[in-house]
Structure 1
Amino acid sequence: MAAAIRWLFRIFVTLALLAGLASAALYWFMARSLPDYDARLEVAGLDAPLEIVRDNSNVPHIFGETDADVFFGLGFAHAQDRLWQMTLMRRTAQGRLSEIFGARTAATDELMRRLDIYNLARQSLGAQSDETMTALEAYAAGVNAWVSEVNTGARGRGAPEFWMFEPQIAPWSPADSLAMIKLLALNLGTHLGEEVLRARVSLALDDPERLRDILPDAPGQGVAALPDYAALVPGAGQGATRLAAATPDLWPVAERGLGGASNVWAAGPTRSASGGTLLANDPHLAFTAPTLWYLARLELSSGGVIGATVPGMPLVLLGRSERLGWGITASYADDQDLHIEKVNPDNRNELLTPEGFKPMRSRPSILKIRDADPVTLTLRWSENGPILPRRQFDLSEITPPGHVVSLSWTALSPEDGSMTAGLELMRAGDVDAALAAAEGFVAPGLNLAVIDAERIAMKTIGALPRRRDGHASKGRLPTPGWIAENRWDGILPYDANPVFADPAGGIVGNTNNKVVDRPFPLHVSYHWGDTQRIQRWRRLMQNREVHTRESFMEAQLDTVSPTARSLLPLVGADLWFTGEAAPEGTPERLRQRALALLAGWNGEMNEHLPEPLIYAAWMRALQTRLIADDLGPLAAEFTHLEPLFVERVFRNIDGAAGWCDVVQSARVETCTDMARLALDDALIWIDERYGTALESLRWGDAHEALHAHETLGGIGGIGWFANIRQSTSGGDNTLSRGLSRGTGTNPFTSVHGAGYRGIYDFADPDSSVFITSTGQSGHPLSRHYDDLGDLWRRGEYIPMTLDPDLARAAAVGVTELIPAGRAE
């Protein structure tokens, strides 16, 4: 027996040693790709020596003799820190993910091939200025210089992910950078999905007028009702089946509610305590590890520029120069339209047009799939745009037999000058020059806020389609593509885009809210991204006569929910303080305790409080009870609280209280009944999920921010290491936005918010600050993988300075790049 135990012990020790050696070897291989920031390298493609100073937060400050060399340095720095992220985004744009991930990403590749994103990016090279082409070529040379260094210098394949997936890296090209902008536009686009949802809801409801309850317009004048989709497109929904229930892997289109968002606001000298101008910006996107944003400073011939870049592009998309500050939000401009196209029953390669049946344009595309046979796709286009697969976007549920669906979208332009516009914006010296530079911007649709030393302005930029007055749905539902009135008639002139310059009140801002109320077709949009945060922002801006950098910080980090403050008194009006205290241990007593907590709550979605969790669970359960019987399975599409819907119901606007009655039951339920039952549902769910006293609950336990690594995040123990999790405050409708997942066992996990925050103070520009939600490096073994994330979670910032001496102070490294053949 003793001998057996000794042998078992020896076997255990041997296995442990082998496992340790394997782990050490794996760590050694992975760590080889960590770049040495203190290095002197000889590289091809430079005109003169270049210096990359990485400050103590690992933000590169790039100094070169020419602008081309500086862009070279940015490409080099991006590749050092984010090479896997860049190649993954490029593969997404090209529709080539399945070459390394197999069949699980085939649907994503098919969509990208049918949209033809990458080919359009290549065609758009001809729309760039000479200066832009110089920047794009220099940037690509910088990326390729680092790739060459990886290949020749035994640097661990450049990133740890390349040990698990295809290690071959194609050279970077200027078209790759243009494809990044189009990929961003696809992620920010929301109108395609919204049109499909409106059509599906219209088909599901017995009374089309009820559509304006569940999908109401933003407050203010607008379209009150839509045409009946079944009448608009006869045969839609008949015999339809849902062909794809799950979102494909690495899907580039945001799910409903998780599209682009942002906050931006600016104060002029009359509203600034210092007499200078101020600007605050925090764009909201899906949380990832690493974040999309990469901080950098470029020393150009026109002056220093510092801010947030996107790896893959030679562009400071958000930031400031010595003379100008700029920020953006998603504008929610309606730049997408779906068209139902009628197929010729005698020739399936023809579609009906206003002039009769005409052939579709088509070409084959071979989709290579790892560990599977390649698939040949036939890509097709109507006169309105590319034909989309019926099995995606739930199109099968709204498309009649004998028809297909096409997409009109401004980003599908082969003459997209957005990159040139962005680079000219970086060099602009004042507000007028900045707004003029943005004229060439095509997609995505954005609200651009700019400040110089004395002025402020905000303008919607990006191409807006020119629709005809007779458009059947005003762009809100898919429409028959063979009817001329439903087709686009070019693009509106840039002067038609809304602009707000030097307002009398001294402040401009946007939280994705409705910016104009103009009649169709100059309306900009009927679908906006926010009706709630704007309420809190207006109050915070007007509560002070003048603002400071610190007051802008407070607004960016504000976690009070105006939605909770407005809905709780409505929903709980007949539940608070009614009757005597119920016996302990009863559901009634638990309900009373929950209501007592909410009665004393100010709406602050603080991570340490129980009330935000009780509120969020209650509203979630309430909305489910209100819509489940009317919409059936379609109710699952409403994954987030619809505040305007709940308000319409409890105020009984236009008879909306009818949603409270359960259609299938004999009795007539009231909204008070629904509120009470929903609160009980929520408390049961909380008890099952957390099993603790209400007073001990923490919102932060449910509202944990998840920054998931897009490829390693779902791999067992590796995901635990590569993903970043943080207990956070905020919520769906707070200025410090932490949008919840809305589905699954942890529906309140925060998955979407401000990956970047910046505040620019032109009274003292070098006192400006910025931060990102993770870190500069995309390497999970780097200390800069998540170091900024700790500051971000606590609401802290780092200096945003153009002072080279401050950049060098305590720098983590200085990289010297020497032109090949000129090393001493």
Structure 2
Amino acid sequence: MKPGLLLSTLLSASLLAACGGGGSSNPAPASNTPTPSNPSTPETPTGPEPRPSNVTAPFADYGTVLNILPPGQDDIGGVANLAADIPGLGDLLSTLFDDLVAETGLVPALSKEPHFDDQLGLYDALVRSEPGLTDDQLGDYFKAAPLLAPDAGNWESELTLDAAGYQVEIKRDNFGVPHIFGDSRRDALFGVGYVTAADRLFLLDVLRRAGRGELSRFLGPADFSFDEDIAVNAPYREEDRTTMIANTIARFGDDGAQVFDDATNYVAGLNQYVADARSGLLQVPVEYVALGVQLEPFVIEDVVAIATLIQGIFAGGGGNEHNNVLLLQALEAQTGSKDIACDLWKDLRHGTDPESSVTTTTSFATQSPPTLPDICPLSGELAGQFPGAVMFDAGSFQSYDPLSHEPCGRPGQPECPEALGNVPALPGTGVVGGLLDTVGDLLGGILSLSFLDDGGQALSQQWANLTRQLPTLWTRKDTLSEQQQQQAMQRIAAIETGIQGLRDGFPSVMSNALLLNAEHSASGQPLAVFGPQTSYFVPQLLLEMAVHGGDINTRGMTFTGLPYVVIGRGPDFAWSATSGSSDLTDVRVVQRCEPADAPAHGEGGYQVNGQCKPFDVIDEQWVARWNLASSTDPEAVGQNEAVTRRVIRTEEYGPVIGFATVSGLPVAVTRQRSTYFAELDTALPFLQASRNDVHDVQSFYDVFHNTTGSFNWFYIDDRDIAYFHSGDYPQRANGIHPELPSWGNGQYDWNGFIPQQAHPQESNPPRGYLASWNNRPARDWWAADAHAPYGSAHRNDILDVRLQQLVEEGSVTRARMVEAMGDAATVDLRGQEIVPAALALLESAPVTGDQDSAIRLMQDWVANGALRRDRDGDGNYDEEAAVALMDAWYPLMIDILLPQITAVEDVDGQNLSLMGRDNKPGAMGSAYNNGYYGYLERVLEQAAGTSASPYRALRCAGSNDLATCRGALANSLNQAIAELGGIASMDSWNVDETQDQIQHRAIGLASVPAIHWQNRPTFQQVVEFTGHR
């Protein structure tokens, strides 16, 4: 297999993880057509034409950039991060691992790396910073991120690689961030690959398997969520990934050749590290030994797989039109009225809500179609006005799950498929009493040290003593105390939990951005605080580096497995992104038929352009083999699972996601995504950004328009700030209703994508700032089909309020911007947006003594910003009682005030609501992106007569009557007070702050302590430029 695919994929994945996908500058629209019977193998292209370097002063730095990326730069995983400086630990582990080391040839890392978690404290400390932050204090919360020359100063470590025809220097600063210096671009990319493997090897392996939808083949039956997700949304054969490489190379011309060249060099760097590790020259993450999995060389198709994974998570939008059909049919059944059902559906949709927060206030009614139809889809007029729209028969839709699994290999169970490429894993270490032996006890004890807290220090000393007594341990069964064995079992269980929840740990949307026009800053230059919000992992999914070589001169973050910096800075500009969630995916309906030459797979075919074409079926099996990442329940230990993936897909309209009937005729329901089978087309913007093709606002627009995924991109230099909303948004055929499924029969196909000028964009906005937190991009830009959060209350309102205040203040510093962001990171959106409306309605009539006390409590909290903040670090929120009341009151508000919505939360066992009730704070950090916040705020304002945009049918407590609404609201407050023990016990109202805390999800054996909840980017830059090239 050729290595050219890797870069394209890496680029694609890198944009996705940080915030986007890409395409060529002006490529022909991708056909996105799988050709499984005739895959293309990419020929090695002619090298790119020589081009002058844009880096005339390669290490020039025209400003001040700070950044942060917790927990830290280093991580090769496992025991290397579990116990530091324990005397004799190396000898002990060598004894434990001798047999498996001999079998795998891999040497596990045994010592904690110096920069494993040294940015975690900086990140966590911001929440406890005192008001009045100054620029010279920012170093307490961020690290400097300059562009440095090779001879710039005191490097903590230096490595020169001279191998396989490459020569590169890798110098690490005092945070372990690699600065890569090559004489040429190819040398630099080789260094990028080597550094990525050095810092994220096991994670790389996890991601390349997850992106193929085969993580269970690698890590066993602990988790099938990634495999299920890929099987539904991005099911590819390996030859499809190879074909995507060829397509991308052909589509980009000379830039395609450069992408291929970059990818080749990047993979060569990855594999140089792998070769060194397999020959015993370098240590590897202990997970390879502990979980019994092999380290294999990388190929470009791996990068395609990673790009697929990230594209699907962060860069999508739309593709849920079938849920609108189900909701409409349920509402009609409940209300008994087509008109009321349609009005309620439109209320719940927030398709074009005029009060929703927007990033640009300029109108962009430029989608296809420009506006949402006002017709009721349940009416008889639908077919006449929208002949391409489909409403399948009520009750007929059945979702299709292409992945299944069942226990195998034991008596009475089916035989397991062949296990490929795995070596025996360690036994159930520290897990099941009957399986615990001395070796297991010892390893379990080592794992119990992983938290490295004060208690761990005592255990470290205890283990040092045990090590010296090693010869006597082999015959003893009581090596560990009961407490230590319990700690070991809990740690092993945490490994299982981390792997099982891996997919859920990825947020579906992410990131925020605050940018201020130059005229409002103290320096007269623009300011920015922005970054991607990609949850929290150990090791982190993101990876920081500075890269210099040939025409590359950049620093920032990439997604693990990608060769380019995808969010970061050049010499005189910086950029970032947030997820866009706009509509680039449509649900199609194809009529089923039986081809004359019936396919052997037995699934039949579908009608398109007057022909009956057979479905393409991917039918694969593998074994998910039990290991330490799997269930530790005694009955599950050693239990393997046989996995079957049976994907049904169409050539034109993507994979099948369900079946239904339309007027009694059988149909298949598919999902057509504009980036499907074109995962690599996002490579170009990162290629261009890496060589500093961006130099002003227009070039920024031109470069990031090439991003195929749905993202909001932000730019800053010493003069301007700018915004661009990217994505391959289809030009839909006449007759399609964009909120409903459409026929996939050849008559209503897309006609390319909307042009660059139709995308929301703005520079130096008149209101003085840009703010984005996964909100509506622009006024009149409609929300994707079943995307409902764009109502009157959105978390971007938190940023709007603070940036408006900064504009009014003027003379804003970088520290003041950081302070505004830090406050926003602890705001409870419900307190900022819903509570004021609720208190106003309650005070519209006399209130009881208890209610009056509660109202005053909440008024004070709202006046102070409605923060969930423990500034003094005592383990209690600063306004604990108000937070406790908010948490108790909110679900009762929903139950009592929104019966029209709660009625669709359980329809024959299915929740048909368009979003969840509450995106509350928790381990992932990101919160308040979607929930019933706007519904509650508006129905309360409607009842009070203050709503500027009343709903059509949604009402407070189902009534138009003010007294009814106020009575229901008072009832909900009384119940909340009672649940907390009454007003008299207000001083004891409390919140379990640990439930809100950020928990870095372990991808492997290592962990870090929990930190205070903050709703902010994972990687974050603070930027102010003072000059320009």
Scaled to the shorter chain, the TM-score interval is 0.7 to 0.9
Aligned counterpart, 1:238: 395
Partner residue, 2:219: 101
3-state DSSP of counterpart to 1:508 = strand
- Paired residue type of 2:936: V
2:572 counterpart letter in structure 1: R
Contact 2:514 2:799 in 1 (8 A): no
Instruction: Please state whether the residue corresponding to 1:333 is helix, strand or coil.
Output: coil
Give 1:471 shift: 0.9
% same residue = 19
* 2:1007 equivalent in structure 1: 722
- The CA distance in 2 between the partners of 1:178 and 1:40, in whole Å, is 29
Please report the RMSD computed on the Cα atoms of aligned residues, expressed in angstroms: 4.2
Task: Give the drift of 1:710.
Answer: 4.1
1:116-515 correspondence runs (5 A): 116=235, 120-126=240-246, 127-128=248-249, 129-153=256-280, 155-156=282-283, 158-189=284-315, 191-192=317-318, 194-205=320-331, 206=335, 207-220=341-354, 223=372, 227-228=376-377, 233-238=390-395, 258-302=507-551, 304-344=553-593, 348-370=603-625, 377-390=645-658, 402-414=666-678, 416-427=680-691, 428-431=693-696, 432-442=698-708, 444-472=709-737, 474=738, 476-482=739-745, 484-485=747-748, 487-505=749-767, 507-515=769-777
TM-score, length basis structure 1: 0.74
Pick closer, same or farther for the CA change 1:534–1:469 going to 2, 3 Å.
farther
Provide the secondary structure at the position in 2 that maps to 1:705: coil
Return the structure number with greater relative CO, CA threshold 8 A, min gap 6. Answer: 2
Segments of structure 1 that go 5 or more residues without pairing to the other structure are 1-17, 583-588, 713-720, 730-737, 739-752, 766-824
Task: Tell me the alpha carbon deviations over residues 319-339 of structure 1, each in whole angstroms, 9 at most, x when there is no partner.
Answer: 111122111111222111112
What pairs with 1:39-58 in structure 2 (closer than 5 Å)?
Answer: 44-48=163-167, 50-58=168-176
Summarize the Cα distance change of 1:657–1:369 in structure 2 as closer, same or farther, 3 Å threshold. closer
In the alignment, is the contact (CA less than 8 A) between 1:594 and 1:694 conserved in 2? no
SS in 2 for 1:338: strand
Amino acid at match of 2:327: V
Q: Distance in 2 between matches of 1:469 and 1:702?
A: 50
2:110 pairs, out of 11, 14, 32, with: 32
- Tell me, yes or no, if structure 1 residue 567 matches structure 2 residue 839: no
Distance 1:76 1:471 in 2: 49
Letter of the aligned partner of 2:350 in structure 1? P
Residue 516 of structure 1: CA displacement?
Answer: 2.9
Match of 1:86 in 2: 204
Distance 1:189 1:241, change over 3 A: same
Query: Partners of 2:642 and 2:746 in 1: how far apart?
Result: 38
Q: In structure 2, what is the Cα distance between the partners aligned to 1:398 and 1:600?
A: 56
3-state DSSP of counterpart to 1:556: helix
1:264 touches 1:282 (CA, 8 Å); kept in 2?
yes
Cα deviation for residue 218 of structure 1 reads: 4.6
CA distance in 2, matches of 1:562, 1:107: 30
Q: Deviations over 1:344-368 (max 9, x none)?
A: 2687522133535333334544444
Query: For the residues of structure 1 that align with 2:969 and 2:350, how far apart are their CA atoms?
Result: 21
Distance 2:1003 2:784 in 1: 33
Give the corresponding residue for 2:67: none
Note closer, same or farther for the CA distance 1:224–1:286 as it changes in structure 2 (3 Å cut): farther
Taking structure 1 as reference, are residues 654 and 537 closer, same or farther at Cα in structure 2, changes over 3 Å only? Answer: closer
Aligned length: 693
**In the alignment, is residue 660 of structure 1 matched against residue 947 of structure 2?**
no
2:360 is aligned to none
Name the residue aligned to 1:816: none
The structure-2 alpha-carbon separation of the partners of 1:654 and 1:639, relative to structure 1 and needing over 3 Å to count, comes to: closer
Distance, in Å, in 2 between the alignment partners of 1:686 and 1:240 is 44
* 2:996 maps to which of 703, 707, 711: 703
CA distance 1:513–1:668, shift in 2 (3 Å): closer
1:176 match: secondary structure: helix
User: Does the residue aligned with 1:417 lie in a helix, a strand or coil?
Assistant: helix
* Structure-1 residue corresponding to 2:438: none
Tell me the equivalent position of 1:549: 814
Specify the SS of the correspondent of 1:286. coil
Alignment partner, residue 1022 of structure 2: 759
C-alpha separation in 1, matches of 2:952 and 2:765 = 39
Residue identity opposite 1:478 in structure 2:
P
Structure 1 distance, partners of 2:1013, 2:646, is 47
Change (3 A) 1:199 1:546: farther
Superposition deviation, residue 565 in structure 1:
3.0
Matched position secondary structure for 2:1021: strand
Aligned position for 1:785? none
3-state SS of the aligned residue for 1:56? Answer: coil
Q: Cα distance, 1:389 vs. partner?
A: 4.4
Stretches of structure 2 lacking an aligned partner (at least 5 in a row): 1-87, 99-106, 115-155, 250-255, 336-340, 355-364, 366-370, 383-388, 406-498, 626-638, 870-876, 919-930, 943-949
8 Å CA contact retained: 1:354, 1:484:
yes
1:615 paired to 2:886: yes
1:326 and 1:448 in contact (8 A); partners too: yes
CA distance in 1, matches of 2:560, 2:553: 19
1:649 is aligned to 2:939: yes
| Matched residue SS, 2:732 | coil
